[in-house]
């Protein structure tokens, strides 16, 4: 059972991850998606680099580790953050969060298909539940006059990227600390965003409203900063069941908070899909 600071940290982390979805949607009203990712990720990575260096962590990246870290960053950070922001641009933020958090199911399925892990009944149930959630939202987007089914494709590519990255992270043999790997993946990915953004988007004016500046500060300090520090602090002591429940709660927090932050009104398909995703995550992550 979690106690005191650990419980407070887990609740805060779940709220931060959930609130981040509608905050991203709000930010895209004034800043294009690739520049938004470039600005917030690079700021957060530099903040983490300073924090962990001050705490005595060895954050150096040996020359031989550049290519392996870049290979890990491609799906883990660049793929997930690129396609998820494109999905948020197209979809309601709560809906994007529901679809994005199908990634534990795709992690289990990829491990079965490509890494020889057995297909258990629980994984099959999880895949069926995730498929039901996706089908509900695909149907609603396809038949709605303002529907954007492309956003669902972006979110599933994002979820698959994270799933592949998770498997590769589990199998890496890099002799680097987790904070060092994470920070350098973020630094390399933010550099990629700064290179990609001018190719597809006009240069921003960088003249924003006060709420937008607050949203950018949230992205740097909370989403890419404090949340990462809290997660590293909890990761070693967090029971698997607690982390599973935290992941299950994020889509619900994102869906509910979007009502206040960006004025989205969830439909019955959203609530039903969220329930299916919760069941899918439970089947994959919770013990029998």
Task: Convert the pLDDT of each residue in 89-121 to its tens digit.
Answer: 999 999 999 998 888 888 888 888 887 778 778
Instruction: Give CA–CA dist 43/221, Å, rounded.
Output: 8
68 lies in a domain? yes
Q: Is 27 exposed, middle or buried (0-12, 13-18, 19+ CB in 10 A)?
A: buried
243 lies in a domain? yes
2 lies in a domain? no
Provide the percentage of residues in the chain whose pLDDT is more than 70.
91
1 lies in a domain? no
Instruction: Give CA–CA dist 250/36, Å, rounded.
Output: 22
257 lies in a domain? yes
Q: Which of 141, 158, 181 is nearest to 57 (CA)?
A: 181
- The residues, any chain, with a CB within 8 Å of residue 122's CB and separated by 6 or more, are 283, 284, 288
pTM reported for the whole predicted model: 0.89
Task: Please state, rounded to an integer, the average pLDDT across all residues of the chain.
Answer: 87
Mean pLDDT computed over 271-279: 89
113 lies in a domain? yes
Per-residue confidence (pLDDT) for residue 241, from 0 to 100: 59
> What are 252-269's pLDDT values in tens digits?
899 999 999 999 988 898
4 lies in a domain? no
Mean pLDDT computed over 30-41: 97
Per-residue confidence (pLDDT) for residue 271, from 0 to 100: 92
**Structural domain boundaries enclosing 212:** 12-285
Residue 245 structure tokens: 């429940």
Please tell me the total count of domains within the chain: 1
Would you say residue 6 has pLDDT above 80?
no
Would you say residue 247 has pLDDT above 90?
no
Per-residue confidence (pLDDT) for residue 239, from 0 to 100: 62
Per-residue confidence (pLDDT) for residue 238, from 0 to 100: 61
Min mean pLDDT across 54-63, 145-154, 253-262, 266-275 is at 145-154
Instruction: Give CA–CA dist 174/140, Å, rounded.
Output: 44
> What are 169-207's pLDDT values in tens digits?
888 888 888 899 999 999 999 999 999 999 999 999 999
6 lies in a domain? no
pLDDT band at 232 (very low <50, low <70, confident <90, very high): confident
Would you say residue 144 has pLDDT above 80?
no
Would you say residue 283 has pLDDT above 80?
no
pLDDT band at 52 (very low <50, low <70, confident <90, very high): very high
């Amino acid at each position: 059972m979690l106690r005191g600071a650990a419980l407070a940290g887990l609740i805060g982390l779940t709220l931060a991850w959930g609130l981040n979805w509608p905050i991203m949607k709000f930010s895209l009203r004034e800043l294009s998606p690739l520049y938004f990712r470039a600005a917030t990720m690079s700021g957060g990575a530099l903040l983490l680099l300073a924090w962990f260096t001050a705490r005595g962590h060895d954050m150096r990246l040996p020359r031989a580790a550049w290519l392996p870290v870049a290979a890990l960053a491609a799906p883990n950070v660049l793929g997930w953050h690129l396609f998820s922001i494109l999905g948020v641009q197209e979809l309601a933020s709560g809906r994007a969060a529901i679809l994005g958090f199908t990634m534990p199911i795709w992690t289990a399925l990829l491990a079965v298909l490509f890494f020889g892990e057995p297909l258990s009944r629980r994984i099959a149930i999880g895949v069926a539940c995730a498929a039901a959630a996706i089908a509900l939202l695909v149907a609603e987007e396809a038949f709605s006059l303002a529907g954007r089914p492309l956003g669902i494709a972006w979110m599933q590519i994002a979820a698959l990227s994270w799933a592949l990255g998770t498997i590769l992270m589990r199998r890496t043999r890099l002799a680097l600390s987790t904070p060092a790997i994470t920070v350098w993946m973020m630094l390399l990915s933010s550099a990629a965003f700064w290179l990609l953004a001018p190719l597809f988007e006009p240069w921003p004016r960088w003249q924003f409203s006060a709420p937008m500046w607050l949203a950018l500060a949230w992205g740097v300090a909370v989403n890419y900063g404090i949340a990462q520090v809290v997660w590293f602090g909890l990761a070693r002591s967090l029971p698997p069941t607690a982390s599973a429940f935290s992941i299950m709660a994020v889509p619900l927090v994102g869906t509910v908070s979007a009502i206040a932050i960006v004025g989205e009104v969830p439909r019955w398909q959203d609530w039903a899909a969220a329930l299916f995703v919760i069941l899918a995550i439970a089947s994959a992550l919770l013990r029998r």
